[in-house]
Amino acid sequence: MTAEIGELRARLQEAQETLHAIRAGEVDALVVSGPEGDNVFTLRTAEHPYRILVEAMNEGAATLSSEGIILYCNTSLAAMLEKPLEKIIGTSLSDYIVPSYLYAYDSLFKKGLNGSASGELILHNDTITWPAYVSCRSLNLEQTRALSLIITNITERKQAEEALKKAYQEMERRVEERTWELQQSKYELEKQNDELLSIQEKLRESELRCRIVADNTYDWEYWMSPNDTLNYVSPSCEQVSGRSPEAFMKNPSLFTAIVHPDDQEQFKAHLHERKIEKKRYALEYRIGHTDGTIRWIAHMCQPVFDGQGTFIGTRSSNRDITKRKETEKTLADHAARLEAINRELESFSFTASHDLRAPLRRIDGFVKLLFEDYAPVFDDQAKNYLERIRENAGNMGHLITALLSFARITRQDMRKSRVNLSAMATLAVEERKKTWPEREVTVVIPPKIMADGDPLLLQVVINNLIGNAWKFTKNRKDAIIEFGMTKNSETVYFIRDNGAGFNMEHKEKLFIPFQRFHSPTEFPGTGVGLATVQRIIHRHGGHIWAKGEENKGATFYFTLS
């Protein structure tokens, strides 16, 4: 038994030394046993620089036999699979493909053996699964066929696509809100509304272009030796710059020559710092394409050291971010245009309110003069008409004030902090008790119901909801108003009363401006309070809804982000 253990240890030591020699380029050939006997694979010494390049890649790289057995893989792939190299080499790549993707892998493998193929697969290690983009090409190793693979972990790309989708949805929601506001304005704002819809369409098109670029981009990779000669330039440089890899290999100074004149100084400073400090760098600059266009480049480079710590070159990556820059400019222009529209809308609101208030004040003033100077002349019916004129002029003034407040709230800057909603509700009730001291109302407000939000805007929400509860319970001798909170999957705040209530068939109209369920003489108001509350709740990332029954009361629920 001791002799067998010693023999096994010797074989293990021999395997480890062989793997080290393969990665270091000290071995020229490798014998792999298969169903058809032993196969000999040569590892030419001339390929040593490419092995170093492959070992330095962030992407996983592997060579498979025609049976799918892993003959070689770099350290990046080993890190992805969370296994040592010696545990991976000799296994089948299908062992690391999730079962539902084995058919796709088999198809990709067969196409690759016949030339080249690429596609997305789901791989797994002992802990997680992750999406990967796999590119493969057939190889001739001596007298047998093999397959070369490049495996890229595209988890970040998938996450970026999801973030872009959410950002687009949020943007679309905000544009819809602005569209609704513009639709309430006069005819003079309709052209601006059309322009906003046009901008919205352009944003959708821009987002689609960005998505296409993200799905199909290939970075321009290159490897520069310590003496500033190039060992490798990827073919994608031709797509990014319009120049072939051979042009850069022949003339490395071309990298600097194609940089935009305005970016030459920072690029040369970067090259100088890279030689001195030998650390990871990232910068953005512009280059001139052969087609005459200017391309934006996101450049990243990092030094590479061998096992002894000797600097052996710099690996660099250039990504074309021209589309992203164009999108940023479009978004900046859109934001500036929206700001201009907001200023114009605010100016229009101020002018409209001033122009409307002036004749109302005159009407009220003339009616007052009629009362003072001609009261004996008028009979009771005429006086009643004059009183109704003054009352309606006053109501119109209150409506103008409410509309201005509604417009300003939607554009007011938000300053979030921790606020005490219980204290706000208590203050709202106390103010109404002072105004209507004869009312007997049972009020239930638990202490210290807290929330995160803008204090001024949330005070408007509480005031409106408490005010409605107070107003619609005025005919109840046993009036009850309750403010509270429930917490399950999310925190829900509510204000409940046992007042007039409403018909649930019309609940969708509750938050539409000027929609009333009761006559103004019975329950006076402007008709924009709940619309204002809904807008504030939406600005906080929450939502509001209500339940009620006629003559039995109503409950308003709302959430915050």
Q: What count of Cα atoms within 13 Å lies in the side-chain half-sphere of residue 273?
A: 13
What are the tokens at 210?
Answer: 């960005």
Give the strand order in the sheet containing 144-153.
70-73, 60-65, 144-153, 129-141, 116-124
303-311 contacts at long range (C-beta below 8 A, 24 or more positions apart): 303/274, 303/278, 303/279, 304/52, 304/56, 306/52, 307/24, 311/226, 311/278
- For 27-69, list the strands marked E by DSSP: 29-34, 37-42, 60-65
Pairing of strands 491-497, 479-487: antiparallel
What are the tokens at 161?
Answer: 């696509």
76-91 exposure pattern, b = at least 16 Cβ within 10 A, e = fewer = bbbebbebebeebbee
How many CB atoms are closer than 10 A to CB 523?
Answer: 16
pLDDT of residue 215: 36
Compute the Cα dihedral for 347, 352, 353, 358 and give only its sign: positive
Cβ neighbourhood burial of 558 (10 Å; 0-12, 13-18, 19+): buried
Distance, CA of 249 to CA of 243 (rounded, Å)? 11
Q: What count of Cα atoms within 13 Å lies in the side-chain half-sphere of residue 431?
A: 12
pLDDT of residue 388: 75
Show the CA angle centred on residue 251, arms to residues 302 and 52, nearest 5°. Answer: 40
Chain CA centroid to CA 18, Å: 48
pLDDT of residue 132: 92
pLDDT of residue 122: 93
Distance, CA of 552 to CA of 235 (rounded, Å)? 75
Distance, CA of 76 to CA of 60 (rounded, Å)? 5
pLDDT of residue 26: 45
Cβ neighbourhood burial of 223 (10 Å; 0-12, 13-18, 19+): buried
- Distances 1 to 7, 11, 92, 191 between C-alpha atoms, Å: 10, 16, 32, 92
264-297 exposure pattern, b = at least 16 Cβ within 10 A, e = fewer = eeebeebeeebeeeeeebeeebbbbbeeeeebbb
- Distances 73 to 51, 180, 310, 342 between C-alpha atoms, Å: 10, 58, 23, 59
pLDDT of residue 180: 83
H/E stretch holding 230 reads: strand 230-233
pLDDT of residue 175: 81
What are the tokens at 275?
Answer: 């030689």
How many CB atoms are closer than 10 A to CB 387?
Answer: 12
Distance, CA of 530 to CA of 513 (rounded, Å)? 8
pTM: 0.38
Residue count of the chain: 561
295-298 contacts at long range (C-beta below 8 A, 24 or more positions apart): 295/240, 295/241, 295/320, 295/322, 296/320, 296/321, 296/322, 296/324, 296/325, 297/240, 297/321
Distance, CA of 373 to CA of 527 (rounded, Å)? 36
pLDDT of residue 45: 39
pLDDT of residue 54: 72
pLDDT of residue 13: 54
- For 266-336, list the strands marked E by DSSP: 281-288, 294-305, 311-320
What are the tokens at 11?
Answer: 């074989």
Q: Tokens 């058919």 map to which residue?
A: 103
- 331's CB contacts (< 8 A; 6+ apart) are 203
The DSSP-derived string for 240-279 is: HHS--HHHHHH-TTHHHHTB-GGGHHHHHHHHHHHHHH--
Distance, CA of 20 to CA of 106 (rounded, Å)? 31
- Distances 158 to 132, 214, 244, 278, 511 between C-alpha atoms, Å: 10, 10, 30, 32, 38
Alpha-carbon Rg for the chain, nearest whole angstrom, is: 37
Pairing of strands 441-444, 479-487: parallel
Spell out the per-residue pLDDT of the chain, length 561, in tens: 455 545 545 544 554 454 444 444 444 444 444 455 544 444 443 355 556 767 777 889 999 998 999 999 999 899 899 899 888 999 999 999 999 999 999 999 999 999 999 999 999 988 899 999 999 999 887 678 899 999 999 988 888 888 888 888 888 888 888 878 767 766 666 777 677 677 767 766 764 553 343 334 468 888 888 888 888 888 988 888 899 989 888 988 898 889 999 989 998 888 888 888 888 888 989 999 999 999 998 888 888 888 888 888 888 888 889 998 889 888 888 878 877 766 665 665 566 555 566 676 777 777 777 777 777 877 878 777 777 777 666 656 655 665 566 566 666 677 889 999 999 999 999 988 888 888 889 999 999 999 999 888 898 899 889 988 998 898 888 999 999 999 888 999 999 999 888 888 877 778 877 666 665 656 666 667 788 888 889 988 999 999 999 889 999 999 997
What are the tokens at 491?
Answer: 């925190």
Distance, CA of 330 to CA of 324 (rounded, Å)? 10
Q: Which domains does the chain have, with CATH numbers?
A: 2-153 (3.30.450.20), 225-320 (3.30.450.20), 415-561 (3.30.565.10)
What are the tokens at 508?
Answer: 């969708």
